[in-house]
Amino acid sequence: MLVGVLLILLGLLIGAGGIWLIALGGSLYYLPAGIGLLLAGSLLLRGSAAGVWIYTITWLATLLWAYWEVGSNGWALMPRVFAPTIILIFVLLTLPAFRGPARRGEGSATVVASIAVLAVACTFGLHHLTSEARSQQTPPASPVPGPVQKASAATDTEIHQSGQDWPVYGGSELGTRYSSLNQITAGNVAQLTKVWSFHTGDMPSKAAEDKYSPENTPLEIAGHLYACSAKNIVISVDAKTGREEWRYDPKVSDDAIPYGATCRGVAYFAMPGVSPDQACATRILEGTLDARLIAIDARTGKPCADFGQQGVVDLTQGIGETVPGWYSVTAPPTIVRGVAVVGAQVKDGQAENAPSGVVRGYDAVSGKLDWAWDMGHPDRTSAPPEGEPYTRGTPNMWTVAAADPQLGYVYLPLGNAAVDYYGVDRKDFENALNSSIVAIDVTTGKPVWHFQTVHHDLWDYDLGSQPTLVDFPAENGKVPAIIVPSKQGQIYVLDRKTGKPLFPVEERNVPTGGVEPQTLSKTQPYSSYAHLDQPVLTEKDMWGMSPLDQLYCRIQFRRASYQGEYTPPTVDRPFIEYPGYNGGSDWGSIAVDTDSGVLIANYNDMPNYNQLIPRQKADQMGFKSIDKGGSPKKVQDIGDPQAGSPYAIAVNAGWRLSTGLLCSRPPYGHIRAIDLKSGKTLWDEPFGSATKNGPFGIPSMLPLGIGTPNNGGPLVTAGGLIFIAATTDDKLRAIDIKTGRTVWQADLPAGGQTTPMTYEADGRQYIVIAPGGHHFMETKVGDQIIAYALPAG
């Protein structure tokens, strides 16, 4: 009776959903499957063994349909056949109830047969799941660091490469995330062990417990490691022992936290021609969440009195109206030719009248403003007149720039104009420059060239990745190039002197419609070099924990507007954005082994499920921009107000169900090796295991390579290894760059949403990571910085 009632309930739900899905033009399977369940359940309730055989036939038909639809793909088969197979066990266990007393002893045979069915199904499923992921098994003042800059700051053209040190975020100004160190190899990495760790002490208060995402990559110069915490505490430690040398706390308040408390890194600068005994001869520069640019003595941790006002420059000067948390700095300055180039994160989706996206260059010694690039005033490079702000609402640079000190260019990856999902009110210069890479002459503050990766961006496809500069292997010798990864998965390769593509970029026709068809771009730029985006979604790609939630996702897919990439935003029904705004590539960027010519990209593969909300309805729901007090927490979880436009936006990032699982099938994260010269894929593997993932946030503990969402970047070394964390399973991995096979991994105490770095001290190579966790990725928050090395001697 219990089994019969269960089948009837499931039959009603699946049958009704099947009727809805057919009406939407979807799969025909669910209606007859629901009828089969209803018949089987009704017969069981009437005491007829025919119910067992009806269900068995339905189950067999389900197997055939599943294999027809998705083949032998284990992750795709799981929601289609696993739950029906479990139910089959219970149905078969009812057989003894239909036999006479003399034959009920035969029930044991039924039990054995049922267990055999389950074992075969589980073995089949596990075989296909694991076959898709085999690569986944597996205080006092310190000594003065010597100045690293020899010429005068204004004429210094040296590139500060990683090697013995890690002197710049990204390894060097070029942003390759590559080290020439080769002590640790695939042959000995199994011996790698933790040698020290320390705590920053910066953990979230109650008010900020759901807003911490440190994302920090430390620097190391001359035996001293410099790190910053989520709320901008700068700490120097001995690079060999992890012993704290000094710390500087700028006292950032919780209300300054924008989307997340983040400090991706700091910058190091050595004053040229100055005695190392002079105060602030070497200095650390940091941008803060409350919009200050601070210079600290690298030897003592004291503010540099000659910089700005006693070591501080107020970055809100000229910004105009703002409130805490709206205008923040989360990335390190990029210092080139003595100029510290600083952008800012303007909190997404708040209002069209947002603070400016101006990018500014400050003298790294005095803190004096050298120039300001305000795209609304292209002929002006100085601060605006008293009482006038920089142009409001312009695209900003929230991530990290790269630079070519020899050319004197700094390369700015720009975001979107305010707001992200509505663009009718944008100005012509905003439409020309949103989601572009812009080369600025650091000596003048004037743009040299720009290349746009998305025309009239309505999908939050801002450039989150730091670009990477390489000498690109070409037929007639090497060409100074810039590699630009993108959230939509396209990887562009440009001449970094001129901005001209080195590989053809095709303008392809894209979907039209939505709420602003007259302003949409009819084409978008596609790279012929390499791309990380996957084929368009279909109803067959829908997933879930069981046939019920997969059916629900199929119905939602059919209800939504989806015409492939660049489906325009809609208000009358949801629209699917694929890839979602986490990429493709995001702020973790790529790494390039410049010696062997291999590019490494970890990336996400998930859609967003979005919908515009009319202004009147948005007001009734409680949407408010940050300058008007902000939306309540439950409304913030829905989306953003986009004040000043006719619509708010509801965003389901990753298209998640109430169970926490996603509506699209795994893998959700990959890591790929690409031949630098040709752009051809060398290998591509699912990235991340299911150990910390599961329905309703319950860890499954299954070491299966599901390919998890990931945030953070790769480190590549001359030892032939990729070191990377980033995934939601809280692991640091070493991957063989030749094969994609994981050759070592370590469990981290918190989420690894950051990028590791490496250096050498006293002849010993260290791998360092700051696993701080991430609120958006729902990983555990922590405050440790951890160093690994081979055993001494």
- For the annotated catalytic residues, the residue numbers are 460
Q: Is 21 helix (H, G, I), strand (E, B) or coil?
A: helix
Burial level of 140, CB count in 10 A (0-12/13-18/19+)?
exposed
**394 residue type, one letter:** T
C-alpha distances in angstroms, 467 versus 39, 399, 485? Answer: 60, 10, 7
Among the listed residues 69, 1, 3, 2, the one whose alpha carbon sits nearest the alpha carbon of residue 30? 69
The answer to whether the beta carbons of residues 329 and 395 sit under 8 Å apart is no
Full DSSP string of 166-222: B-STTSSTT---EE---SS-TTTGGG-EEEEEEE------GGGTT-B------EEET
Tokens 């970094």 label which residue?
A: 496
The Cα angle at residue 169 between residues 163 and 173, in degrees rounded to 5: 75
Burial level of 509, CB count in 10 A (0-12/13-18/19+)?
exposed
A 10 A CB-CB count for 616 gives: 9
Among the listed residues 372, 361, 373, 447, the one whose alpha carbon sits nearest the alpha carbon of residue 153? 361
Cβ contacts of residue 267 below 8 Å, gap of 6+?
A: 168, 169, 219, 284, 285, 286, 332, 333, 334, 335, 340
Helical (H) or strand (E) element with 284:
strand 282-287
C-alpha distances in angstroms, 226 versus 58, 64, 480, 540, 610? Answer: 63, 59, 31, 49, 40
The Cα–Cα gap between 170 and 454 comes to 25
Backbone angles phi, psi at 261, to 5 degrees: -80, 105
What residues does 474 pair with on adjacent strands? 477
The answer to whether the beta carbons of residues 337 and 391 sit under 8 Å apart is no
Task: Pull the structure tokens for residue 629.
Answer: 């007090």
Pairing relation of β-strands 178-179 and 715-717? parallel
Among the listed residues 267, 255, 261, 258, the one whose alpha carbon sits nearest the alpha carbon of residue 293? 267
Backbone angles phi, psi at 422, to 5 degrees: -150, 130
Q: Is 440 helix (H, G, I), strand (E, B) or coil?
A: strand
Note the Cα 244 to chain centre separation in Å. 31
Task: Pull the structure tokens for residue 379.
Answer: 């002929």
The answer to whether the beta carbons of residues 177 and 726 sit under 8 Å apart is no
